[in-house]
Structure 1
Amino acid sequence: MAKQSGKSYGELQNQSINIISEGTLINGDISSNGDIRIDGELVGNIKAKGRLVIGPKGKVNGEVNCNNIEVSGFLKGKLTVYELVTMKASAKIEGDIIAGKLSVEPGSIFTGNCTMGDSKGKNEKAQTKEQK
């Protein structure tokens, strides 16, 4: 995989959009350099360099690592987001959140712990400690 050079501010120049439509069930991990929209169901982990959208009928059971996420559906697992987590009114999240920023609409449900701030810096510090 080729590395992207220059500053991108969370958005990639040649970004692709991956859609898992309603009625689709995927068992396995997903890794993408682009955006992902899930309206179906995923049992597995997601690593996306772009934006992740979990639609109102979307369900994810696994760890998520991405730059930005908008949740309207259901997510169960650890969520690590480097920039912004947006929880819509219909969102339900069960698990821990590590995020740069958190936006929560009234009506959304969250069960777990949340750590906000510079998640990139915290992750880099944690990795540095582990390597020593």
Structure 2
Amino acid sequence: MSRKIETLVGKSLVITGDLFISGAIHIDSIVRGNVICKRDVKAKIFLGKDSKIYGNVYGPLISIDGYVDGNVYCYDLLQIGSAAKISGDILYNKVDMEAGAVIHGNLSHDLNINFDDLYNVDVETLDKSNKITVNNPKN
């Protein structure tokens, strides 16, 4: 799952609002909002040890080594590192979890779930939020 990091969000930044991703991003900051990468985009979300996400995380490839207070919806491969702490439910296709990770929620594997419906559940709220869009310059 090697991807070149196109965007780095350092720990000195606090983001309030949803992040819409279309590339590889490494987050080591506080995000008070959802981190969203649509299913049809081949991107990766890296949540480093200093990351604190207060919202849901949606993406095809997700690596978590920080804190998430929200649900995680992973369309392809979810990697959960030993320093990860997740307070929320996790819906995934494939998962790789290291010893030491802490999860307070349910893990659900179901290949028949329509992730597009999950993404669209809160569209009204997402449309009213402040948005930061990270575009992949190669697209």
Q: What interval of TM-score do these two structures reach, taking the shorter chain for normalisation?
A: 0.7 to 0.9
What does residue 6 of structure 2 align with?
Answer: 17
Higher relative contact order (CA 8 A, sep 6+): 2
Structure 1 Cα separation of the partners of residues 69 and 115 of structure 2: 25
Q: CA deviation at 1:117?
A: 3.5
TM-score by length of structure 2 reads: 0.74
| 1:85 pairs with one of 63, 74, 78 | 78
SS at structure 1 position matched to 2:93: strand
| Separation in structure 1 between the aligned mates of residue 5 and residue 48 of structure 2, nearest angstrom | 18
Determine whether 1:106 maps to 2:99. yes
> How many correspondences in the alignment?
115
Aligned to 1:97: 90
d(CA) in 2 for partners of 1:11 and 1:107? 23
Q: Matched residues in 1 for 2:53 and 2:116: separation?
A: 28
The runs of at least 4 consecutive aligned structure 1 residues that moved more than 3 Å come to 124-127
**Change in 2 beyond 3 A, CA 1:28/1:72:** same
In structure 2, C-alpha distance between the alignment counterparts of 1:65 and 1:89, rounded to whole Å: 20
Q: Share of identical aligned residues, percent?
A: 26
1:30 equivalenced with 2:19 (yes/no): yes
* Cα offsets for 1:30-80 (capped at 9, x unmatched): 112111211111000111231000101111110111001111110110111
**Does the 8 A contact of 1:16 with 1:33 survive in 2?**
no
Contact 1:101 1:117 in 2 (8 A): no
- CA–CA separation in structure 1 for the residues paired with 2:82 and 2:66: 9
What SS does the corresponding residue of 1:62 show, helix, strand or coil? coil
Gaps of 5+ in 1: 1-9, 128-132
Query: Counterpart of 2:114?
Result: 123
State how far apart, in whole Å, the 2-side matches of 1:110 and 1:92 are. Answer: 6
Q: How far apart, CA to CA, are the structure 2 residues paired with 1:26 and 1:38?
A: 11
Residue from 37, 46, 49 that aligns with 2:35:
46
